[in-house]
């Protein structure tokens, strides 16, 4: 019985997927705290920014939630992670240190997300995704986490 318990806990400790999931929930929790603090401190700016962003998004998708859902939950995470982690980050690693490559790819990832609040959060997510990519050696975890984050955004956007 003691051997089974030890193997069970050893498997949990070695399980990268579990680590990634726990880190993801921690990062999403921190993201919500940051958004809450921004909203509390800069309420008018936050409201104007969100209203502007929502108007632009709704104008683009013209209330077609299915296309919006497919784009931000499936297409965007796949191609953004393939480009920013699998291509750009790997190229940067050829020329720069790991730290500088993470910073450069995260800055470019945040610039790609045009709106100010989204860009600030995207910078930190870029760092997180790069670290997950380095830790797991797999782009699939990054795509999964990116999709999960966008899914939360999607439901916040709709309601």
In a domain, 37, yes or no: no
Could you report the per-residue pLDDT of 9-28, keeping only the tens digit for each? 455 556 777 777 777 777 77
User: Does residue 69 lie within any of the structural domains?
Assistant: no
Q: Is 53 within a domain? A: no
Q: Angle at the Cα of 147 (from 94 to 83), degrees rounded to 5?
A: 25
| pTM tops 0.85, yes or no | no
Q: Is residue 128 part of a domain?
A: yes
**Total structural domains within the chain:** 1
Tokens representing 68 are 């919006």
More confident site: 68 or 104: 104
Over residues 105-118, the pLDDT tens digits come to 999 999 988 777 67
Residue 31 lies in a domain: no
Asked whether the beta carbons of 113 and 119 are under 8 A apart, the reply is yes
Decide if 82 is inside a domain.
yes
Task: Indicate whether 122 belongs to any domain.
Answer: yes
Tell me whether residue 88 is in a domain: yes
- Residue-level pLDDT at 1: 45
Q: Which domain holds residue 111?
A: 78-154
């Amino acid at each position: 019985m003691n051997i089974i318990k030890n193997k069970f806990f050893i498997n949990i400790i070695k399980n990268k997927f579990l680590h990634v999931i726990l880190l993801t929930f921690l990062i999403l929790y921190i993201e919500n705290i940051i958004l809450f603090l921004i909203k509390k401190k800069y309420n008018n700016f936050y409201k104007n920014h969100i209203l502007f962003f929502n108007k632009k998004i709704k104008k683009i998708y013209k209330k077609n939630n299915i296309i919006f859902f497919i784009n931000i939950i499936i297409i965007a995470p796949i191609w953004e992670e393939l480009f920013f982690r699998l291509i750009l980050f790997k190229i940067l690693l050829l020329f720069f240190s790991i730290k500088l490559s993470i910073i450069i790819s995260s800055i470019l990832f945040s610039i790609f997300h045009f709106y100010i609040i989204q860009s600030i959060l995207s910078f930190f997510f870029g760092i997180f995704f790069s670290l997950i990519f380095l830790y797991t050696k797999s782009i699939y975890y990054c795509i999964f986490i990116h999709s999960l984050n966008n899914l939360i955004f999607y439901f916040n956007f709709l309601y």
